[in-house]
Structure 1
Amino acid sequence: MDTIKAIPAYQRIKNAILDNIHSGKWQAGNAISTEMALAEEFGVSRMTVNRALKELSEERVLERRQGSGTFVAQQQFNHTFVEVRNIAQDLKSANRDYQAKVVSKRGITAAMLNDELRRKFGLEKAIKSSELKDATDIRSIKNLDSEAAVLYEVKIIHFADGQPIQFEERWVDALKVPEFIEQDFSVVNTSDYLIAKSPLERGSYTIRALAAPDEIAALLQITAQSPTLVLCRQTYSAGQVLTFVKMWHAGERYQFSGEL
């Protein structure tokens, strides 16, 4: 994608460390490679490695012990603490035919962010890239007005027996899951993919009844202003918001239920 720049070196190091933790190569309490070893492996300065380790320590993924090294923090980052419902599995378990159609997907730059996304992802007001020392260093200022994508956006219609039942609007931290936008979400479920790449540790959600705007009504094949159930959810990984999603459900075709 044209708008996505190369991932900064410190972020590549962070991603590699997280991959080793999530794959089980480095367990909780294990020492990770030294700064010198990581610098040689990635062909960067120790200062760059230090930044990656410092950020992961602040995110409580790693624990740095003076004179001993850096260790995987004693937390279960390889488990999911948030139950995230998968509509594909729910429909298939109910013996209904399931299909997904991707309406759109794109990278969103800092300049394209609206107030809601800035607030959800903790992104401050975008500043001009000319004011930055390093225009590729997105996460240090969190909002850089450049051509680099800070979020990925996907919009998907989920069908049950050929009838649209849910419209999903999802935004994902582009630096935490850089390959997200490359997936075929007519085959891969978004929640399953995110859990596999960055296990979720907590989340929050709301469910509201809203009249369907024209665009949503057209996608769900219902009359404009018909009732819909809208689930908004944000989930966290390593202490930060990983994804925010809005799921619009045709009110007459969907209900939420559970056991007490």
Structure 2
Amino acid sequence: MTKTIPAYQRIKNAILDNIHSGKWQAGSAISTEMALATEFGVSRMTVNRALKELSEERVLERRQGSGTFVAQQQFNHTFVEVRNIAEDLKSANRDYEAKVVSKRAVTASLLDDELRRKFGIEETTNTPDTTLDNRSDTPVLYEVKIIHVADGQPIQFEERWVDAKKVPEFIEQNFTVVNTSDYLVAKIPLESGSYTIRALAAPNEVADALQIAPQSPTLVLRRQTYSAGQVVTFVKMWHAGDRYQFSGEL
């Protein structure tokens, strides 16, 4: 059953799609409130909410008397420091290796509720739809699973999902050589992110990857990273509880 997306969110999604596809470049004016209200069959108040939120997210810039414009991005590289386990291990003089367990393109029908929410993806229906983005066989996310090994011992099991439209060549990379985080930072500006760290018992797949007993304690870092107000990547990084620790300076 398809969940109804609020009208203001549909407008936000359409504007973001136009920006990411290159239809609306940085600095260019977007459609007027009246034009958007007519296009989507909603009130100007609904359009105003969508534009207001995108302005607060620094995607758009509203200029009194002139209109609304795609914001000039004031960065050339990531605002977010994304830790790279390969570099961390190499800097500690440990022998590092990445083993790719699997990688695949994922269609909307295969997503669970968590991934749909993270990436703002609708559930598919059985209604025929000829538009490319809504076809049931069109990949919406790329998924990779990688074991990061130090001195022959698994240290981290990475499960990562990436927006297929925003980073179309991601799935083609050789991740035994190319680090996933490094590739994303190089390809698309990552302007913000959020993360949580939890202690969880290892499910069977994770236990096999980390070579620990099922239900052993693990530390799980879950992180989503944004560009232009949308999630570009979501990752779960599983660590054996007795082999890894998080530390820093205050």
| C-alpha contact (below 8 Å) 1:129/1:146 kept by paired residues | no
| Residue in 1 that maps onto 2:117 | 119
1:124 positional shift: 2.5
2:220 matched residue in structure 1: 230
Q: How many residues were matched structurally?
A: 215
Give distance in 2, aligned partners of 1:216 and 1:87.
18
Pick aligned residue for 1:193 from 180, 183, 186: 183
Output the CA distance in 1 between the equivalents of 2:96 and 2:152.
Answer: 8
Shift of 1:74: 3.2
In the alignment, which residue of structure 1 is the partner of 2:141? 151
Q: 1:78 to 1:61 in 2, by over 3 A?
A: farther
Question: 1:85 corresponds to which letter in structure 2?
Answer: R
Give the alignment's TM-score, normalised by structure 1: 0.72
CA RMSD of aligned residues (A): 3.3
Letter in 1 for 2:245: Q
TM-score for the superposition, normalised by structure 2:
0.74
Question: What's the CA shift string for 1:151-196, capped at 9, x where partnerless?
Answer: 0000000000111000000000000000000000110000111111
Stretches of structure 1 lacking an aligned partner (at least 5 in a row): 1-10, 22-27, 33-54, 139-143
1:164 aligns with 154
Instruction: Tell me the secondary structure at the aligned position of residue 195 of structure 1.
Output: helix
* Counterpart residue number, 2:194: 204
Q: Aligned pair 1:173/2:171, yes or no? A: no
Q: Is the 8 A contact 1:135 1:146 kept in 2?
A: no
Structure 1 position 60, deviation (Å): 5.4
Indicate whether 1:254 and 2:244 are aligned: yes
2:241 is aligned with 1:245 = no
> What code does the residue aligned with 1:243 have?
T
SS in 2 for 1:127: coil
| d(CA) in 2 for partners of 1:177, 1:153 | 12
Cα distance in 2 between the residues matched to 1:17 and 1:91: 42
CA distance, structure 2, for counterparts of residue 193 and residue 129 of structure 1: 37
What is the DSSP-based 3-state SS (H/G/I as helix, E as strand, rest coil) of the residue aligned with 1:192? helix
1:125, distance to aligned residue in structure 2 (A): 2.5
Residues 1:204 and 1:87: Cα distance change in structure 2 (over 3 Å): same
User: Post-superposition shift, 1:223?
Assistant: 1.3
AA matched with 1:79:
H
Is the counterpart of residue 83 in structure 1 residue 73 in structure 2? no
Q: Percent identity at matched positions?
A: 75
Q: How does 1:101-120 map to 2 (within 5 A)?
A: 101-120=99-118
Query: How far off is 1:81 after superposition?
Result: 1.4
- Quick one: which amino acid aligns to residue 88 of structure 2? D
Q: Does the 8 Å CA contact 1:129/1:145 hold for their aligned counterparts? A: no
Q: Find the partner of 2:209 among 210, 219, 222.
A: 219
Instruction: Decide which moves more: 83-92 or 118-127.
Output: 118-127
Amino acid at match of 1:175: K
Deviation at 1:258, TM superposition (A): 0.5
For structure 2, the residue ranges without an aligned partner over 5 or more in a row are 1-16, 30-50
Rounded to whole Å, the distance in 2 between the matches of 1:82 and 1:178 is 22
Matching residue's letter, 1:169? E
